[in-house]
Chains A and B, each alone.
Chain A
Amino acid sequence: AQKITQTQPGMFVQEKEAVTLDCTYDTSDPSYGLFWYKQPSSGEMIFLIYQGSYDQQNATEGRYSLNFQKARKSANLVISASQLGDSAMYFCAMRSYNFGNEKLTFGTGTRLTIIP
């Protein structure tokens, strides 16, 4: 069974500061993918960044980077130079390399609020 843990239910960060959202995972599968999604108050789940378990380098997408520490089973999202528009719910999720197992396992999310 897979499990995602996000221990920060809410965070408040000053605008323009960097922020790290924590995510730890548990799986017995050797090959898996880790995803971060942003969900604004409008409800849409917006894909931010992906990290494969065999990727040697940490993924980056613009202001988003994923701090992947495989031995610790952590996949923290780092947002550099936060903006007011970053205020949203953030979900960490994972899937395994297993044809037919299409299920994304989500964490409980972190509500990020950016303060002007």
Chain B
Amino acid sequence: DAMVIQNPRYQVTQFGKPVTLSCSQTLNHNVMYWYQQKSSQAPKLLFHYYDKDFNNEADTPDNFQSRRPNTSFCFLDIRSPGLGDAAMYLCATSRGTGTGLETQYFGPGTRLLVL
């Protein structure tokens, strides 16, 4: 009964080589989020989709892009990974009923290593 699934769990890429991380959900939630979490730090929101509407955080680098082709799937694209992009990337979902107080449910994360 996995609810938020992330693939792969571990990803190794080379400096400058584009990489795509995947997230899928079986909860039929309207909102999907991508967080970046560096070692010993709190998660940092990169962007989120409210249904098809994309919402970028002001300080998210242009190097990070996202796609949501349908309700169930959301992708994080890193166009030219740098060493500083090595982190855990967490996908989360929430129902999106408009109250703003719903719980966010997280996937297991993808650990990205940049060589």
Which residues from chain A sit less than 8 Å from chain B, CB to CB?
Answer: 31-33, 35, 37, 42-47, 50, 52, 91, 95-104, 106-109
Contact = CB atoms under 8 A, between A and B. Distances in A.
Interface in B68-115: 88, 90, 92, 94, 96, 98-101, 103-109, 111
A106 B31 CA distance: 18
A45 B103 contact: no
Given A44-B109, A47-B105, A102-B33, A91 B42 contact: yes
Interface residues of B, number: 27
A60 B47 CA distance: 31
Contacts of A47: 103-106
Contact of B92 (A42, A45, A100): A45
Contacts of B48: 102
Interface in B34-62: 41-43, 45, 48, 50, 55, 57
B94 A102 contact: yes
7 shortest interchain CB distances as A-B pairs: A45-B106, A106-B42, A33-B101, A43-B109, A44-B108, A97-B100, A99-B98
Contacts of A44: 106-109
A9 B50 CA distance: 34
Contacts of A97: 99-101
Contacts of B42: 91, 106-109
26 contacts: A33-B100, A35-B104, A43-B88, A43-B109, A44-B107, A44-B109, A45-B92, A46-B106, A47-B104, A47-B105, A47-B106, A50-B103, A91-B42, A91-B43, A95-B101, A96-B100, A97-B101, A100-B100, A101-B100, A102-B31, A102-B48, A102-B55, A106-B43, A107-B42, A108-B41, A108-B42
Given A43-B109, A44-B108, A102-B94, A35 B103 contact: yes
Contacts of A99: 98-100
A42 B57 CA distance: 27
A104 B105 CA distance: 12
A113 to B, nearest CB: 15
A35 B92 CA distance: 14
A110 B50 CA distance: 31
